[in-house]
Amino acid sequence: MAIYQRGRIWYADYYANGERIQESTGTANRREAEKFLAMRLSEVRRNVFAKPSNITLPELGLRYIAHARLHKRSWKRDVQMLKNLESFFGRPKLRDITPLRVEDYQRERVRAVSPATSNREMALLKHMFNMAERWGEHYGSNPVRLVRFLPEDNLRFETLSEEQEKRLLLASPPYLREMIVFAIHTGLRTSDIFGLQWTEVDIEQRRVKKIVMKSARLLSLPMNDAAFGVIESRLAVRHGPYVFYNPMTGDRFSDVKNALTAAVKRAGLPRVTWHMFRHTFASRLTRNGVDLVTVKDLLGHANISTTMRYAHSNDAAKREAVNRLGSSDNIVAIVPRTANVAV
């Protein structure tokens, strides 16, 4: 009965019910590893020891997604993130995923995506380990708990300029061009645009009335001329329940990343993501003096703190507002008091 190292991580070597167990302690700290071994030996003595599970990450992933389908609105996003996790880790047993390996994933992943995206994937992995413990599929420590998440700059976001928008639209096929215009002029997320049905479009009032997927809140969004022009164009080729449909399949879109990437390349632009259209919508609103409460409602944010990231983008409107107070006609001279003035 002892502990030993593989790389930086300590492993526990002990016997339980006549069987030799070699198990990762999930830590590079010798003292913590010794505590882990002592805990396991205590479990053996008290007859409460449960043999470490041999479940693999993909096996846990299948069980987790089945659970998420019933309990999470964003389960499809979890499916995508799980693919990224499995692509890196492969098919390891849960007990073989160490904090060091998780840090390797974090370091590799952040080269391709933002810290926020990396953190969301790390949070998913952490939650999956917690669920595995709850289901009796994992009895070791949660390796993600020992890894620090990356700092996020939530005030930083990228938008398209009017010139970049024109170049991108000229480089896009017609179906993609309509979706980009609609996204920039409504601020809807890609999932809500893909899932937009004709029953959610009020033609007479020029308004979209939709339950947004992320927040499950009702969004009543008026359409400007550009957005409504797209709707009129789609009416002319209406087919099935969805406003936007794949012309190759006749069904709703599931992804346009490849088409967008190709259009961005043809336009000679730097990296453009679909969420930039939503940022562009919000930024242009605030730049034109729209108050943040209205922007919050148009974006469908549940809390205005999420909308506050766009507060700095309406500096011109703020400057114009304070300059209105600078007129000489409104200036009142303030004469300082003089102490002990004799009369």
CB 221 within 8 A of CB 188: yes
Q: Stretch 72-92: mean pLDDT, rounded?
A: 90
The reported pLDDT for the residue numbered 292 is 87
- Asked whether residue 27 falls in the same domain as residue 69, the answer is no
7-38 pLDDT tens trace: 888 899 998 888 888 888 878 899 999 998 99
Whether residues 9 and 134 share a domain: the answer is no
| Single residue among 119, 146, 173 that ends a domain in this structure | 146
* Inside any domain, residue 341: no
- 273 and 226 share one domain: yes
Query: Does residue 84 belong to any structural domain of this protein?
Result: yes
pLDDT bracket for residue 341 (50, 70, 90): very low
Which of 89, 117, 146 corresponds to the end of one domain?
146
pLDDT, residue 172, reads 96
Does a structural domain hold residue 240?
Answer: yes
pLDDT band at 343 (very low <50, low <70, confident <90, very high): very low
More confident residue, 56 or 333: 56
The verdict on 175 and 277 lying in the same domain is yes
In-domain check, residue 28: yes
The total number of structural domains in the chain stands at 3
Expressed as residue numbers, the domain containing 287 is 162-318
Say yes or no: 136 and 188 in one domain. no
* Per-residue pLDDT at 216: 67
Are 87 and 173 contained in the same domain?
no
Residues 265-318: pLDDT tens digits?
Answer: 999 999 898 889 999 999 999 888 888 899 998 988 878 877 777 776 566 666
Q: Is position 335 within any domain?
A: no
Question: Given phi > 0 = left and psi -120 to 50 = alpha, else beta, which region is 64?
Answer: alpha
Q: Tokens standing for 66?
A: 């089945």
> Residues 6 or more apart from 184 whose CB is under 8 A from it?
160, 165, 226, 277, 280, 281
**Same domain, yes or no: 230 and 275:** yes
User: How sure is the predictor about 215, in pLDDT bands with cuts at 50, 70 and 90?
Assistant: low
Does residue 333 surpass a pLDDT of 70?
no
Residue 132 maps to a domain = yes
* Residues 171, 309 within the same domain: yes
- pLDDT tens string 109-168: 988 888 888 999 999 999 999 999 888 888 777 999 989 999 876 556 788 999 999 999
Count of residues in the chain? 343
The answer on pLDDT for 195 being more than 50 is yes
CATH code, domain with 70: 1.10.150.130
The CATH number that applies at residue 267 is 1.10.443.10
Same domain, 41 and 83: no
The domain boundary, picked from 117, 146, 175, lies at 146
Identify the pLDDT of residue 104. Answer: 94
Q: Assess whether 114 and 256 both reside in one domain.
A: no
What confidence category does residue 223 fall into, taking pLDDT thresholds of 50, 70 and 90?
Answer: very high
pLDDT value of residue 22: 85
327 belongs to a structural domain: no
Q: Is the pLDDT of residue 102 over 60?
A: yes
Give the 3-state secondary structure of 230-269: HHHHHHCCCCCCECCECCCCCCECCCCHHHHHHHHHHHCC
Query: Cα 124 from chain centroid?
Result: 11
> 146: which DSSP letter?
G
In this structure, are 221 and 175 located in the same domain?
yes
Mean per-residue pLDDT of the chain: 86
Q: Indicate whether 140 and 282 sit together in one domain.
A: no
